[in-house]
């Protein structure tokens, strides 16, 4: 059975059980800034699991594209994927455990024809927050299933997807592969690979609060998720994800390009390129923050496998093309953004190749001093000192774009002083916020220049938004890094395309007008009198700095700013989205 057939069979089955098919949502969660990616089919459904009415009803089903980065280190083995597709069915306060489990069992054994003897399940054993899931246990037992394991929260509890929200005990279904048991007591939570988890029925009956409490939900829900790739693989008698569907095709492509064999390296490339394609299709570009950073890590990690395989440079896009072709019908966003995706992959690969050698040299040099520092006069390792400098690691990260994880991998066992790395990271954030570029050496100064430009662009954007949408638009938050500005503001609905275009156009006009940026210090009262906008909070003290951009904008701000808008380049909105009710967010950049 192909993945595409499994997808269809699943949706058809639940349609027959009166479920409505809903579309796959974006990989970037719409209303949840606490997580970077959609990690499960339930994610876009959180408000409805909490009681809001879903327009499609109480029984839903779909396939959802997901990204999970928690297990990124494990990618390269048979089962772990960064991007995967999840098949799911939901009861929003409708059916309960009995129906959910009965249908899962029916689908697995009757539709997919998996012999009951090849299945094992687990249920929640109970703890201080919630009792043993007796009901699920009984349902499985009555079904005649013999392998039923009871585990605690670490294995049989799912969610919340972010820090707070709906969650609950779950019952997981495993396919028992033909792999030999890892010992006499081999069982699902050994994670030895013999038991492949294929489906999870979660009983979302609790809400985790910010204080860490589990409060019972009024509405009892069911949230299930089946790993499409995994299930398709085991149904085909395969014991890894890469032997079927798009992953297989891409793996063949990688093998074709390689001079050497290394299955782990091949799988990392395949997995990471696929995930990168889907992230790029959302309009994210590689950068040093948020989703952009994950994307950069994925791309660079994939590139680094080229050595092990002796692949020619600039190979990522060739692998990407396999995916763009394969998913063109199911996920049209890939083909629609084909040029952008391929171009970004090529660009990031070139950027990385240009710096990698320099960075590696710097790393080796530092590594030598670690060895020297680490050995005491009598040849003993001095504890605590045989670590790779966190400062140098940060420098490698900042200047050469080496992800920390890659540095650790290259060091083969030598530990990085992570505390020092974090301290440097924070220090840099603070400094770049203040625009204190003088304190930095070399490349970093440029970054501060970029952030300074974006500060000025933020003022132009703020004013332009008030002109286009109305004077009620007020700043609700701002966050700037060398790559982009992020501006949160009050506005009740999504901006239309013409509104966005108009805002861009106004900002770009002011850039073209070469307006001088001037600074005046004054009292808060005077600033108000002069019609300055911005935050009038106490944090600014009695006197405030007011930046004027020609006659166009006047805003209270700590700075820093450029001297003239002509320094800015071309202003472009990359994304417009909701943050919470009544608050929108714009991400924009200068080109």
Q: Contact 169/150 with Cβ under 8 angstroms?
A: no
- In the bound state with ligand SER, the residue whose beta carbon lies nearer, of 30 and 357, is 30
In the complex with ligand SER, the residue whose CB is nearer, 166 or 403, is 166
DSSP letter assigned to residue 232: H
Q: How far is the CB of 122 from ligand SER (least distance, A)?
A: 12
Q: Report d(CA 417, CA 385) in Å as an integer.
A: 9
516 Cβ contact partners less than 8 Å away, ≥ 6 residues apart? 549, 550, 563, 564
Query: Least distance (Å) from ligand SER to the CB of residue 438?
Result: 48
Residue (29 or 88) nearer to ligand SER, CB:
88
Element (H, E) at 345: helix 338-374
Comparing CB distances to ligand SER, the nearer of 223 and 576 is 223
Q: State the maximum Cα–Cα separation within the chain, in Å, rounded to a whole number.
A: 81
Cis peptide bond prior to 471, omega within 30° of 0: no
Confirm if 198 and 159 have CB atoms less than 8 A apart. no
- Which residue number, 112 or 341, has a Cβ lying nearer to ligand SER? 112
Question: Which single residue is written with the structure tokens 């089903």?
Answer: 61
Structure token digits, residue 537: 């909070």
Tell me whether residue 43 is annotated as binding: no
Task: Sort strands 148-151 and 119-124 into parallel, antiparallel or unpaired.
Answer: parallel
d(C-alpha 231, C-alpha 175), whole Å: 8
CB of 271 to ligand SER, least distance (A): 18
Which stretches of the chain bind ligand SER, using CB under 6 A?
40-42, 88, 158, 200, 202, 223-225
The 10 Å Cβ neighbour count of residue 53 is 11
Residue written as tokens 């924070």? 426
Q: How far apart are CA 394 and CA 390, in angstroms?
A: 6
In the block, residue with structure tokens 């590696």: 360
CB of 290 to ligand SER, least distance (A): 22
Q: How far is the CB of 223 from ligand SER (least distance, A)?
A: 5
CB of 279 to ligand SER, least distance (A): 19
The helix/strand/coil state of 20 is strand
* Residue in the block written with tokens 């719409």: 30
CA dist list (Å): 290 to 1, 405, 482: 37, 16, 13
Q: Is 455 annotated for ligand binding?
A: yes
**Hey, what are 243's tokens?**
């032997």
Least distance between ligand SER and beta carbon 41 (Å): 5
Task: Please name every residue paired with 486 in a beta bridge, in sequence order, or none if there are none.
Answer: 479, 587
The residue (of 225 and 403) whose beta carbon lies closer to ligand SER is 225
Quote the least distance from Cβ 170 to ligand SER, whole Å.
7
557 is in an annotated binding site: yes
Q: Do 429 and 440 form a contact (C-beta atoms < 8 A)? A: no
Pull the structure tokens for residue 454: 């974006």
Q: Report, in Å, the least distance between residue 91 CB and ligand SER.
A: 12
Query: CA triplet 507, 510, 513: central angle to 5 degrees?
Result: 155
Angle between helical axes of 418-434 and 443-469 (0-180°, round to 10): 50
Closest residue to ligand SER, Cβ-based?
225
Question: 108 or 396, CB closer to ligand SER?
Answer: 108
For ligand SER, which is the closer residue by CB, 123 or 533?
123
Residue pair 120/149 in contact (Cβ under 8 Å)? The answer is yes
Chain centroid to CA 559? 31
Nearer to ligand SER, 202 or 515 (CB): 202
Does the annotation list 459 as a binding residue?
yes
Binding site as annotated, residues for Zn(2+): 455, 459, 557, 561
């Amino acid at each position: 059975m192909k993945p595409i057939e499994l997808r269809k069979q699943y949706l058809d089955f639940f349609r027959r059980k009166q479920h409505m098919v809903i579309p796959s949502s974006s990989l970037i969660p719409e209303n949840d800034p606490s997580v970077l990616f959609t990690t499960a089919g339930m994610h876009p459904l959180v408000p409805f699991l909490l009681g809001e009415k879903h327009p499609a009803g109480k029984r839903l089903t779909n396939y959802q594209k997901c990204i999970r980065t928690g297990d990124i280190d494990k990618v390269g083995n048979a089962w772990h994927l960064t991007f995967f597709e999840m098949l799911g069915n939901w009861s929003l306060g409708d059916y309960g455990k009995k129906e959910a489990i009965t249908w899962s069992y029916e689908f697995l054994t009757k539709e997919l024809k998996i012999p009951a003897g090849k299945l094992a399940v687990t249920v929640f054993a109970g703890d201080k927050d919630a009792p043993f899931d007796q009901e699920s246990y009984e349902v499985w037992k009555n079904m005649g299933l013999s392998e039923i394991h009871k585990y605690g929260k670490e294995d049989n509890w799912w969610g919340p997807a972010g820090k707070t929200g709906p969650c609950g005990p779950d019952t997981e279904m495993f396919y028992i592969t033909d792999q030999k048991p890892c010992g006499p007591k081999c069982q699902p939570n050994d994670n030895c690979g013999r038991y492949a988890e294929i489906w999870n029925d979660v009983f979302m009956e609790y809400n985790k609060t910010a204080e860490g409490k589990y409060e019972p939900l009024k509405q009892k829900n069911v949230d299930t998720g089946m790993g499409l790739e995994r299930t398709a693989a085991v149904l085909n008698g395969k014991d890894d994800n890469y032997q079927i569907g798009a992953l297989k095709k891409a793996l063949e492509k990688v093998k074709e390009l390689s001079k050497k064999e290394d299955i782990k390296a091949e799988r990392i490339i395949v997995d990471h390129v696929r995930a990168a394609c889907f992230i790029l299709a959302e309009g994210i570009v590689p950068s040093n923050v948020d989703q952009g950073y994950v994307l950069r890590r994925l791309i660079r990690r994939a590139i680094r496998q080229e050595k092990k395989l002796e692949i020619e440079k600039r190979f990522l896009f060739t692998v990407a093309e396999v995916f763009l072709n394969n998913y063109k019908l199911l996920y049209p966003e890939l083909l629609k953004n084909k040029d952008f995706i391929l171009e970004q992959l090529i660009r990031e690969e070139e950027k990385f190749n240009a710096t990698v050698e320099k960075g590696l040299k710097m790393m080796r040099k530092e590594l030598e001093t670690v060895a020297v520092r680490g050995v005491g006069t009598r040849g003993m390792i001095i504890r605590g000192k045989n670590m790779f400098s966190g400062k140098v690691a940060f420098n490698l990260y900042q200047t050469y774009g080496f992800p920390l994880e890659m540095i650790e991998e290259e060091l083969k066992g030598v530990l990085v002083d992570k505390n020092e790395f974090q301290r440097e990271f924070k220090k840099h954030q603070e400094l770049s916020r203040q625009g204190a570029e003088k304190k930095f050496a070399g490349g970093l100064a440029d970054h501060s220049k970029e952030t300074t430009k974006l500060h000025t662009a933020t003022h132009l954007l703020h004013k332009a938004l008030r002109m286009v949408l109305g004077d009620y638009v007020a700043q609700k938050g701002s966050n700037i890094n060398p790559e982009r500005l992020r501006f949160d503001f009050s506005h009740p609905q999504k901006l239309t395309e013409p509104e966005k275009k108009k805002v861009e156009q106004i900002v770009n006009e002011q850039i073209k007008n070469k307006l001088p940026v001037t600074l005046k210090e004054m009292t808060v009262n005077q600033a108000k009198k002069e019609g300055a906008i911005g935050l009038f909070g106490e944090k600014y003290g009695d006197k405030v700095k007011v930046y004027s951009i020609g006659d166009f904008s006047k805003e209270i701000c700590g700075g820093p700013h450029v001297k003239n808008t002509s320094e800015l380049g071309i202003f472009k909105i990359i994304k417009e989205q909701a943050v919470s009710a009544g608050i929108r967010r714009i991400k924009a950049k200068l080109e």
